[in-house]
Structure 1
Amino acid sequence: MTTASVLPPSPPPLPALRSAAPRTSVRISSPGHVAGAIAQLAALGAIGPAVFGGLFSLLGAGVGLLFAVLIGVVVLAGLVYALYAVAWFEQARLEGLYGFELPALRVRRSPKPGFVGVLHTIWLQAIDPRQWRAIASFTVSTVLGVVALLLVGAVAWGLALAVSPIFGWTPVSFFGLLRLNGVAGPLVGALLALVAVGALVGLGLLHGVLARAILVPSREALLEEQARTSDTRRAGAVRAAEVERTRIERDLHDGVQPRLVSIGMTLGLAQTKIDDDPEAAKALVAEAHASTKSAITELRQLARGIHASVLEDRGLDAALSALASRSHIPVTLDVRLPRRCSRAAEAAVYFSIAEALTNAAKHSRAGNCRVDVRVRDDGSLWARVEDDGLGGARIVPGGGLDGIVNRVTAAGGTARIDSPQGGPTTVEVTVPCAS
């Protein structure tokens, strides 16, 4: 039994994806960028110290309660995600101001299941280098913001001093150090305002330079990251091909090959009886014919596991509907795809879902499965398979879950498997739509 949700009309196609590499040639010295930087720095100078006060309060409370009450661990975990929120805000602010086209800052997740996976997730988030670079940028911007507020005050004081003759030529004290009489007051005020405005412009330019230096990786760093990613994907592809070859060999050796041997023996036995006992020979031929049909079915299923033609012809939605209809347990499908993704991305998600459903049918004693597939805002293809079985699934080298991880890694994506004892088991994969 398969239940498929009724989908709403497809939304319009998503806009073209931005380049994966950050822009290092953004013009940060344009008047609009400088003016925007000065305004944002002034705002950060007002709110930044309060933000850091809250973060240090969380740190102090967490450390103070760490040994007395275990709630300190919860407070420190909250601090990690408070830092993530500040980092996300800082990157979004700079992205809106300069348009560096940096990859979105996302919460990191561990592939490990259970409570260990929760702790590992918090640890991965705490050591995320991109998060700490954004925190460093926010810190520098806050310091510059405090200076910007002082300069704004100096501009205001200088302008007030420059127009002081309108209200009478009263002597003015310059910061309590020098008494200005007559025309000296307006001249010093105008000069101070000009110097402070120039300093603000320089501060806006410095902010752009420092933001680009902290957040935008150099060309060498980009090349190194691309090389590491290519090595990881190549290793995943090799491992996925090895697991797939092993599976095909096992299916042929344990399934089709014995059946073909049996057919040959049955036909040989029928040949010996065809003259003496024609009826028995006919029965043996009929048995061989039925076994041949079963072998053809097994070969078709094996070929479908290697290459799903419906996936290429009609897309992921139709391929998953056909897959769910063949499932031994009821499957609820919720597939919402506004457009086709690349062949590699669709194949990785399809075979991951197929393997997850196969594992659920064989091992989990599940009564139902749910499959959700979406194209996220960042252009990645996301899928989630959840069953209501017993749980306890583990990644074993050469096993089905290992095949999922390797296939998704080869496509440049990530896989997360959560299967606590007692269930449910959840397999979640994310693959770049243009992988």
Structure 2
Amino acid sequence: MTTPPVPPAPAAAPAAAPAPQRAAAPLRIFLTVLHLAALGVIGAGVIGILSSVFGIGLGLLFAFGIGLLFLVGLVYALYGVGWFEIVRVRGLYALDVPDLAPRRRQVPGFGGWIRSLGRQSIDGRMWRAVASFAIACIFGALVIRLFWGMVWSAIFAFTPLFAQDEVAGPFGTLVTAGWAPVLGILGVLATAAGIIGLALLDRTISRSLVIPSHKAELVERVRTTSAQREGAVRAADVERTRIERDLHDGVQPRLVSVGMTLGLAQQKIDADPDAAKALISEAHTSTKAAITELRQLARGIHASVLDDRGLDAALSALASRSHIPVHLDVRMDGRCSRDAEAAVYFSIAESLTNAAKHSRASECRVVVRLRDGGTLWARVEDNGVGGAQVQPGGGLDGISNRVLAAGGDIRIDSPQGGPTSLEVSVPCAS
């Protein structure tokens, strides 16, 4: 007896997969309508406040510069509105869109902050998000009006139950009671169509404004890459200058002295053996000191313990060699990329060196955290006299360029009288 053939799987089964997406479309439209209604309520107030701040800033611009404070606050407020709009649209339509990131300082200090604020004020992505928010607020006000028109039309459809003759229709007209249900139903359909149309139109406009264009992404990527390349070139140049200076001012004179001492010992080895032994002992001591300087110089170029045992162990070794006491607080649950850890390590090393040489500090505090979002953050603070400034080719300039090359941010605060603090934030994936 033969086995009956197994019936094939029904062909209609795979076609049922897109059903959840179709079912989700009405829900997405409903959520869009709710968003627009909420923005229609609060949007007028937000736009009014922003307009008032702008007007006050312009009006007080020449009154001892007080208006500048309002204009600076307006830039931050616009950034907040743009950030909120991107988050709202991304969550509503399930888009893969990055958050609105603030413009980073390319140069530390007050001048760097002013430049970053200027770049933020002309940030095209921020202004597109603000425009999306403003359009959504206008659409929201229209949605609220259409909703009340729908309610009125629904009530108007039942007016024959209360009136037998003519009733007041739309736009102040008089309508026969028998036509009221027809006009009411048409009004409900028209207002509902208007609400849905506004929701679909807002979806199209907000997506086109919030989602960055391919050209804008390429321009931003090129700008970021160029800034990082320039920072890497400047950092390499500063590092090369430092190595040349350390070799020329430290190791090279010591080795020359060793050579001269050995030459004198060679001349005296037959006539005065005791003096020759003393000179050889002196050359031996100088040679060990030169080896120590070379090791420190090599450690400044590349810290092998950083690759082998991580940032925590490397900073512990760095703190143990510091000439001033260092309170170290490192909390990291994992490792970051080599470039990110190297940038933070050398920033801390240079800060401790500067504190030992120039600040007359009695202690330093180093805090390192691996923050949410994949950012490696570090802060170095000493209790010295302050007054540190970024000089071209100096240590702080080297720190700034190294951090910029890693795609990070830096903030230096060193008022006269102290204390001096340095904060760096570097993406872990840099």
TM-score, normalised by the number of residues in structure 2: 0.86
**Which residue of structure 2 aligns with residue 185 of structure 1?**
180
Q: Spell out the pairing of 1:402-413 with structure 2 (5 A cutoff).
A: 402-413=397-408
**Which residue of 421, 427, 430 corresponds with 1:432?**
427
Q: CA offsets, 1:95-142, max 9 Å, x none?
A: 322343433335556566666566556545444433322221211111
Determine if contact 1:415/1:430 at 8 Å carries over to the other structure.
Answer: yes
Does 2:142 correspond to 1:147?
yes
Distance 1:99 1:318, change over 3 A: farther
- Partner of residue 336 from structure 1, selected from 331, 339, 346: 331
Aligned to 2:93: 98
- The change in CA–CA distance for 1:117 and 1:247 in structure 2 (over 3 A counts) is closer
Q: Distance in 2 between matches of 1:113 and 1:206?
A: 44
Question: What runs of 5+ residues in structure 2 fail to find an aligned partner?
Answer: 1-21
Aligned-residue CA RMSD in angstroms?
Answer: 2.7
Residue 53 of structure 1: CA displacement?
1.9
Are 2:238 and 1:243 equivalent residues in the alignment? yes
Question: Helix, strand or coil for the counterpart of 1:30?
Answer: helix
Distance 1:125 1:221 in 2: 16
Match 1:87 to one of 79, 82, 87:
82
Pairs aligned (count): 409
Which residue number in structure 1 is paired with residue 313 of structure 2? 318
Q: 1:324-403 maps to which residues of 2 (within 5 A)?
A: 324-403=319-398
Aligned partners of 1:126 and 1:340: how far apart in 2?
36
- Indicate the SS of the match to 2:376: strand
Aligned to 2:224: 229
Q: Match for 1:186: what amino acid?
A: P
**What SS is found at the alignment partner of 1:375?**
strand
Q: Would you say 1:161 and 2:156 are equivalent positions?
A: yes
Matched with 2:25 is: 30
Answer whether contact 2:58 2:67 (CA < 8 A) is retained. Answer: yes
Secondary structure of the structure 1 residue equivalent to 2:52:
helix
Partner of 2:35: 40
Distance 2:166 2:222 in 1: 69
**The one of 409, 417, 426 aligned to 1:422:** 417
Give SS of 2:407's match.
coil
Q: CA deviation at 1:210?
A: 1.2
Cα distance change, pair 117–391 in 1 and its aligned pair in 2 (3 A): farther
Runs of 5+ consecutive residues of structure 1 not aligned to the other structure: 1-26
Deviates more, 1:290-299 or 1:360-369: 360-369
Greater CA radius of gyration, 1 or 2? 2
Task: Please give the alpha-carbon distance, in whole angstroms, between the structure 2 residues aligned to 1:310 and 1:75.
Answer: 49
Give per-residue Cα distances to partners, 1:352-411, cap 9 Å, x unaligned. 111111112112222222222222333222222222222222222221111112111211
CA contact (8 A) 2:143 2:195 kept: yes
Q: 1:44 and 1:388, CA in 2 relative to 1: closer, same or farther beyond 3 A?
A: same
Whichever residue aligns with residue 372 of structure 1, its letter is V
Distance 2:241 2:284 in 1: 29
In the alignment, is residue 282 of structure 1 matched against residue 267 of structure 2?
no
TM-score w.r.t. structure 1 length? 0.85
RCO higher in structure (CA 8 A, sep ≥6): 1
- The answer to whether the Cα contact below 8 Å between 1:111 and 1:418 also exists between their aligned partners in 2 is no
Whole-angstrom CA distance in 2 between matches of 1:102 and 1:430: 22
Q: Cα deviation per residue 1:233-262 (whole Å; 9 max; x = unaligned)?
A: 222212211221121122112211221222
Task: Report if aligned partners of 1:111, 1:417 keep a CA contact under 8 Å in 2.
Answer: no
* Alpha-carbon shift at residue 49 of structure 1 (Å): 0.7
**Partners in 2 of 1:170 and 1:335 — Cα distance?**
84
